[in-house]
Amino acid sequence: MAMRFAVQAGEHDRLACPVSVEADLGGLMPPPWRLCADADGGAPVPFQAVSLGGPRYRLQWLLARLPARQAASFTLGAGAGAPCPVGVDLRRHDDRIDVDVGGAPFTALNYGPDWSRPFLHPVIGPYGGPLTRAYPMRTDVPGEKQDHPHHKSLWVAWGDVNGTDNWSEDRKRGHATQVIRAITGSESGPVSGRLTCAVDWLSEQGVKVMEEDREIVVWNTPASGRVLDLTVGFRATQGPVRFGDTKEGGICSIRVASSMDASGAGTIVNSYGGTNEAETWGKRAHWCDYYGPVNGRTVGIAIFDHPANLRYPTYWHVRDYGLMTANPFGLSHFLNDKARDGSHVLAAGQALTFRYRVYCHAGTTAEGAVAVRYHDFVNPPQVTAAPVS
C-alpha cells in the first residue's frame, strides 16, 4: 500500500513553499519510504517524516512551483531511492549553533555567559551579504552605526516583565537577562532544520520570572528567499506574569544592516502600503518589510505576524535608523493615549504563544513578492491524504 497526498494551491501562487501534513502511515511498510511527484514522471522529492508517536507522522517537503488554483499530487511508498542531501545542517559548538542552508552559512544561535540574551547572528542574505547589523558583536564594519548595543541582530526581548527590564543593557542600573537552560532539540534534514531550547527569563537579581520554550525552524528554500519560523512560548511557572505597556520591546526583533537603514538608502513597507517610520511606527499591520542595499545589491528582510497571535495584526516598533520589532503591548505609546493600557497579564500556570516567520528576500518588497509569500505562512496549501493500493 502507498499514501497519496493531494495538494491544493488555493488562491496564491506557490514557489518554494513549505508543506506540512500529519497522517496515519500505519498501513505502509516500515521505513525507508520514497516520496514522488505524480505529475513529474514519478520524480523523487526530498522530504522529512517526523514520528508523532504510534503510526502518526508529520511529513514536510517543499512545493517547487504550483500556480494559484492548481493542484498537485505526491505518492509516498516503500523504497529508499537516492539518499537526500542534508539541506539544512545544524552544528553545535560550545555556546553557538551554526545553521547552514544548501551548504552555505545562513545564521547561528549565539548564547552563553558572554551575552545577556540569546540571539541569531549573522543573518546572511540572498547574495552572501549580511541582512542584520554586526555591532556590537563586531566593531570593525566600515560605516556601521554603533548605537543601542542591546539590538543584537535577530532576538526576542521585552522591556517590562513584572517590572524587570529584559530589553536594554544598562550596566549602571543593571538589567534582566535570558539564559538558555537546555538545548532540547537539534535536528538537521533535507527539507528543514529544527532547533528547540528552554529559556529562563531572570530578573536583574537573577531570580527566575518565567520560562520560555523557543523553536527555530529554517527551511531549505533558495538563497533568493530564505525562510525562518520562530515560535516563542511563554509559561508563567513562577506565578503571574505581567507584560507591561512599553515601546521598548519586541517578541520578534531585528536590527538591519546599517546600509539598509531607511534614514539612508533603505525603505520600510508594511502590509497596508505604509512607507518608512512616519507611516509604519506604532501602526498595526500583518507584516513589515525592511529593504535596502547590501554590497551593491537590493535585499530585504520581513517579519510575518500570525493570526493566532495575541492582538493580531500586531503593532510595530519600527524606526528609520534600522530597528524593526513586532510589539503587541505598547498601546499607550503607539496610540499616544496614556489611558490605553496595553499590558497583558498571564495568570500563574498559563501559557502564551507567538508565531512569526522571517522572510529574507532579494529585491524590493514588490520584487521579493512579500505579500504573496505571507500567504504561504497564514494561508498555506491544503493537503489531504488517502491510501492507495
Mean pLDDT check: name the lowest of 77-91, 136-150, 200-214, 255-269. Answer: 77-91
Residue 279: is its pLDDT beyond 70?
Answer: yes
Can you tell me the distance from the alpha carbon of 23 to that of 5, in angstroms, rounded to the nearest whole number?
A: 10
Q: pLDDT grade, residue 81 (50/70/90)?
A: low
The CATH fold assigned to 92-378 is Beta-galactosidase; Chain A, domain 5 (2.70.98)
Can you tell me the distance from the alpha carbon of 344 to that of 162, in angstroms, rounded to the nearest whole number?
A: 10
Q: Determine the pLDDT at residue 374.
A: 98
Q: If you ran DSSP here, which 8-state letter would residue 381 be given? A: P
pLDDT tens profile 220-259: 999 999 999 999 999 999 999 999 999 999 999 999 999 9
Task: Supply the DSSP string of 307-366, one letter for each residue.
Answer: TTSTTSSPEEEE-TTSEEEEESS-HHHHTT-TT----EEE-TT-EEEEEEEEEEEESSTT
Is 2-81 assigned to CATH 1.10.530?
Answer: no
List of residues 6+ apart from 50 with CB closer than 8 A? 57, 58, 59, 60
Residue 6: is its pLDDT beyond 90?
Answer: yes
Task: Kindly state the percentage of the chain with pLDDT values over 90.
Answer: 92
Q: pLDDT grade, residue 86 (50/70/90)?
A: confident
What residues does 158 pair with on adjacent strands? 166, 249
Amino acid identity of residue 181, one-letter, is R
Residue 170: is its pLDDT beyond 90?
Answer: no
Can you tell me the distance from the alpha carbon of 240 to that of 96, in angstroms, rounded to the nearest whole number?
A: 32
Contact 379, 328 (CB under 8 A): no
Domains of the chain by residue range: 2-81, 92-378
**Quick one: cell of 169?**
543593557
**Quick one: cell of 147?**
548605537
Residue 102: closest CA among 90, 116, 115, 86: 86
Can you tell me the distance from the alpha carbon of 326 to that of 311, in angstroms, rounded to the nearest whole number?
A: 11
* pTM of the predicted structure, to 2 decimals: 0.97
Can you tell me the distance from the alpha carbon of 178 to that of 253, in angstroms, rounded to the nearest whole number?
A: 15
- Give me the mean pLDDT over the 23-47 stretch: 90
